C-alpha cells in the first residue's frame, strides 16, 4: 500500500505536528470561550469577559489572556480612564480562527445529537 512508504509517513508526521500546534493554542477549558466572547463583541473589557465566560476566575482569565496575547491572537489596550480599564480585541491572525470555531460549533451540535440525542 502506497501510504506505507516513508514519504507518506513523513507527510503524516508533519500533519500531526500541525494539528497539535493548533490544539496547544486552543485546548484547555477557557481559551475558546474567551476568544469567542471577544470575537462576538468585537471589543471587550476584562470585567466584561469575566462576566461572559461562565465560571472563570480572574486568575485564570488573566493567565489565559496573557497566553493568547503571546500567541498574537489578541491585542491588549489600556484605556485612559479612571480607574484604568483594559480592552481586548482579536488581531487579524486571531480572526483567522473563525472558520475553525464555526466548524467546531457545527460539529459539536451534530455530535451532541449523535451521542445524547438532543
Interface ranges with its own copies (CB under 8 A) = 3, 12, 15-23, 25-28, 32-33, 36-37, 40-41, 71-72, 93, 96-97, 99-101, 103-112, 114-115
CB of residue 78 to DNA, shortest distance in Å: 8
Q: Does 56 bind DNA (CB under 7 A)?
A: yes
Selection from 25, 28, 53, 36 nearest residue 90 by Cα: 36
List binders of DNA among 89-118 (CB under 7 A): none
- Residue with Cβ nearer DNA (75 or 101): 75
Q: Please tell me the distance from the alpha carbon of residue 24 to that of residue 66, in angstroms, as a whole number.
A: 15
Helix or strand run (H / E) with residue 48: helix 46-52
Q: Residue 101's binding partner, choosing from its own copies, DNA, none, with beta-carbon cut-off 5 to 8 A by kind?
A: its own copies
The sheet that has 74-79: what strands, in order across it?
A: 43-45, 85-90, 74-79
Selection from 34, 25, 23, 52 nearest residue 88 by Cα: 34
Q: For binding to DNA (CB under 7 A), which residues are involved?
A: 28-30, 45-48, 50, 55-60, 62-63, 65-66, 76, 83-87
Amino acid at each position: 500500500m502506497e501510504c506505507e512508504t516513508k514519504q507518506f509517513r513523513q507527510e503524516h508526521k508533519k500533519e500531526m505536528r500541525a494539528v497539535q500546534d493548533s490544539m496547544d493554542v486552543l485546548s484547555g477549558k477557557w481559551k475558546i470561550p474567551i476568544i469567542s466572547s471577544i470575537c462576538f463583541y468585537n471589543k471587550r473589557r476584562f470585567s466584561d469577559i469575566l462576566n461572559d465566560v461562565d465560571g472563570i476566575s480572574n486568575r485564570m482569565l488573566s493567565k489565559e489572556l496573557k497566553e493568547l496575547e503571546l500567541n498574537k491572537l489578541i491585542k491588549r489596550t489600556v484605556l485612559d480612564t479612571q480607574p484604568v480599564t483594559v480592552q481586548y480585541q482579536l488581531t487579524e491572525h486571531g480572526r483567522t480562527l473563525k472558520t475553525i470555531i464555526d466548524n467546531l460549533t457545527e460539529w459539536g451540535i451534530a455530535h451532541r445529537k449523535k451521542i445524547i440525542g438532543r
